[in-house]
Amino acid sequence: MKTKATTRDNTRTKAGSCRGVWVFADHRNYFQDRVTLQILAKGRDLARDLETEVGVVVLGYGVSEFVMEYVAHGADIVYLIEDQRLAKYNVDIYTTVVCQLVERYRPEILLVGATDFGREFAPRVAKRLTTGLSADCVALEIDPVEKILLQTSPSFEGSVLATIVNSTARPQMATVRPGTFKERKHDHHRKARLIKPQIDLVGGTSRMEVLKVRKQPHRGVDLREAPIVICGGRGMGGKKGFGVLDRLGKLLGAEVGATRPPVSEGWAESDRLIGQTGRAIRPRLLITCGTSGAVQYTTGIQNSEYIIAINKDPDAPIFQSADFGAVGDAHQVLHHLIMRLEKETHG
Ligand X SMILES: Cc1cc2nc3c(=O)[nH]c(=O)nc-3n(C[C@H](O)[C@H](O)[C@H](O)COP(=O)(O)OP(=O)(O)OC[C@H]3O[C@@H](n4cnc5c(N)ncnc54)[C@H](O)[C@@H]3O)c2cc1C
For ligand X, the binding residues (CB under 6 A) are: 157-158, 233-235, 259-261, 273, 275-278, 290-292, 294, 296-297, 310-313, 316, 329-331
Q: Which is nearer to ligand X, 92 or 329 (CB)?
A: 329
> CB under 8 Å to 62, separation ≥6 — which residues?
82, 87
Secondary structure, 3-state, 100-137: HHHHHHCCCEEEEECCHHHHHHHHHHHHHCCCCEEEEE
Closest approach of ligand X to the CB of residue 127, in Å: 24
The single-letter DSSP state of residue 182 is: P
> CB under 8 Å to 67, separation ≥6 — which residues?
58, 78, 80, 194
Q: What span, in angstroms and rounded, lies between the C-alpha atoms of 85 and 288?
A: 47
Q: Which is nearer to ligand X, 38 or 259 (CB)?
A: 259
Q: What span, in angstroms and rounded, lies between the C-alpha atoms of 114 and 260?
A: 20
Q: Which is nearer to ligand X, 9 or 328 (CB)?
A: 328
Q: Which is nearer to ligand X, 36 or 311 (CB)?
A: 311
Closest approach of ligand X to the CB of residue 156, in Å: 9
Q: Which is nearer to ligand X, 117 or 319 (CB)?
A: 319
Cα torsion angle, 255, 295, 308, 176, sign:
negative
Give the count of beta carbons closer than 10 Å to the beta carbon of residue 123: 16
